[in-house]
Amino acid sequence: MLTNLRFQCPISKEDEKKLKLSRLAGHHLYVNFGADMGRRSFRKQPLPFLEKVEVIDAGAEGKAVARVNNRVVFIPFGVPGDIVDVQVTKKKKSFFEARIVHFHEYSPFRIEPVCEHFGLCGGCRWQNMSYDKQLFFKQKQVKDHFDRIGKFDYPEIRPILASEDVFFYRNKLDYTFSSRKWFTGQKPETGENVDCNGIGFHLIGMFDRIIDIEKCHLQPDPSNEIRLAVREYSLSKGLSFYDAKTWEGLLRNLIIRNTLSGQLMVIIVFRDDEEEIIRELLQHVKETIPAITSLMYVINPKKNDDISDLEIRLFHGNPYILEELTAFHANDPQLKFKIGPVSFFQTNAKQAALLYHVAAEMAGFQGHETVYDLYSGAGAIACYVSKYVRKVVGLESIPSAVADAGENAVLNGITNVTFHAGDIAKILNQEFFEANGRPDIIITDPPRNGMHGKVIDQILAAMPQKVIYISCNPATQARDIRLMSDLYEIKAVQPADMFPHTQHVENVMLMERK
């Protein structure tokens, strides 16, 4: 079950120091350290070795949790129920971090991971745990955050909504090209020519190293076929892959988006505008994967990977793809959404439709309401609830998302929604309420860091009858709701699994004015 891995590409002493702590349970990383690393790399006292430790919980960042002598121990890739020997790799005042070195007993909830890259790629850290237990610990995560951070009263949490698909559920993946890929197997002999170019996901804890992915189980085909076709062509032509340390190399990123109906968008990001090379590569992709409906490219000479501020050039097909949400009930709206290369849209489309249905059900719309949709993105929630209310006002800080939202309203023939661009903490104020009407219901779906304090203050000032809070981070959700709990009573809590095999959980809450 344990696999020895060696790094084959050139590696600096700085990287060796980083990798000293990168031992992963189930996939131990062994690195030979030279004698010239300096005294600082050697500890005066060895870190503890803990025997027969029982894993009792699944915690933050997907790490398993144990407790030894009243100290918390975080153990990557452990499963609750495992009994293991662990080597402590990091010692803090209140906790240890450790790696598994031996199993005494395997958890009854432990299963064999499907993906061959499990343990190196950090994308699916719970793939070695049965899905029913994943759901259990996700729901427990919501309760734990409410109890420890929120400290407010709440009703019994509804059973978590499982994802219909536990593999191939994502509609967007972003791959990285790198000239510093990680190899498995034996270290090559001195002088042996080693190809270090690859495309995939980052090695856990290392921004400049990637796992060269053979098959990813997150996005349906032809996603893997597209990535492999681009990789093989680029290798055969000797194209340079990006180096995140030197900021050199032509090929930077490959973004693949798809819809439930099978439409495909492919975006290739290059560092330099090598017109002929780019054209030949794109033509090869177009001919090799005829199912692609939108093929684009971007020139990004910056030191970061953000392309939202760059020109996105269309090579073939449409500049967008169309997603249609699945209706869960006969009364649910049938909506289409135009998705561009930088549009935000929930990456699990089936669960997104279920999530919006839950929010609408909790709101109990009567038809006369003015609804505010905070952090409205491309307008999916606003368009969804517009059928049930008098008016929807969307607020979003990203101008391109606001433009997408407006187009999506037009696409669906919706006329009772308006969208406003700007920093919500600044534009949501008394003047805005006077101009757009005070909200009867507020739906808020902020990013992981939650709502700005000024936004919370303005919600309390507006005093809507109901607040629906959708969150991908129950910790910040609990923090925010605690600030509102003097004036609002929590009526319903509904977690949903948007990302199987990860620790992430979405949560919808209904609050009513006391």
Residue 278 and residue 178 in one domain: yes
Torsion of CA 476, 477, 482, 484, to 10 degrees: 120
Residue 192 and residue 158 in one domain: no
| Per-residue pLDDT, 85 | 97
**Distance (Å, rounded) from C-alpha 24 to C-alpha 354?**
36
Is residue 282 one of the residues assigned to a domain?
Answer: yes
Q: Is residue 421 a contact partner of residue 398, using CB atoms and an 8 Å limit?
A: yes
Residue 356 and residue 264 in one domain: no
- Give the three-class secondary structure for 234: helix
Torsion of CA 120, 201, 379, 311, to 10 degrees: 170
Residue 94 and residue 208 in one domain: no
Residues of the chain with pLDDT under 70: 1-44, 184-193, 330
Residue ranges making up the domain that contains 40: 13-110
**Residue for token digits 């006329």?**
415
Residue 31 and residue 88 in one domain: yes
Residue 278 and residue 298 in one domain: yes
Look up the CATH number of the domain holding residue 434. 3.40.50.150
Q: Is residue 469 a contact partner of residue 133, using CB atoms and an 8 Å limit?
A: no
Residues 6+ apart with CB under 8 A from 79: 55, 58, 64, 106, 107, 109, 110, 128, 129, 133
Is residue 336 one of the residues assigned to a domain?
Answer: no
Is residue 329 one of the residues assigned to a domain?
Answer: no
Residue 372 and residue 303 in one domain: no
| Per-residue pLDDT, 122 | 78
Residue 183 and residue 161 in one domain: no
Amino acid at 223: S
Residue 283 and residue 309 in one domain: yes
Residue 222 and residue 155 in one domain: no
Work out how many domains the chain is built from and give that number.
3
Is residue 302 one of the residues assigned to a domain?
Answer: yes
Is residue 340 one of the residues assigned to a domain?
Answer: no
Q: What are phi and psi of 140, to 5 degrees?
A: -60, -35
Look up the CATH number of the domain holding residue 294. 2.40.50.1070
Residues 6+ apart with CB under 8 A from 416: 386, 389, 390, 391, 392
| Per-residue pLDDT, 23 | 38
> Is there a catalytic annotation at residue 472?
yes
Residues 6+ apart with CB under 8 A from 464: 372, 438, 439, 440, 441, 442, 513
Is residue 118 one of the residues assigned to a domain?
Answer: no
**Distance (Å, rounded) from C-alpha 76 to C-alpha 61?**
9
**Residue for token digits 């930088």?**
342
Q: Got the DSSP string for 324-378?
A: EPPPSSTTS---EEEE-TT----SSHHHHHHHHHHHHHHHT--S--EEEEES-TT
| Per-residue pLDDT, 39 | 45
**Distance (Å, rounded) from C-alpha 324 to C-alpha 309?**
27
Is residue 333 one of the residues assigned to a domain?
Answer: no
The number of residues making up the chain comes to 514
Pairing of strands 391-396, 417-421: parallel
Look up the CATH number of the domain holding residue 95. 2.40.50.140
How much is the pTM? 0.87
Residues 6+ apart with CB under 8 A from 492: 155, 158, 362, 508, 509, 510
**Distance (Å, rounded) from C-alpha 473 to C-alpha 495?**
11
Residue 158 and residue 214 in one domain: no
Cα torsion angle, 75, 81, 87, 91, sign = positive
- Pick the last residue of a domain from 88, 110, 132: 110
Strand partners, 371: 392, 441
| Per-residue pLDDT, 207 | 78
Residue 192 and residue 283 in one domain: yes
Is residue 224 one of the residues assigned to a domain?
Answer: yes
| Per-residue pLDDT, 2 | 37
| Per-residue pLDDT, 195 | 77
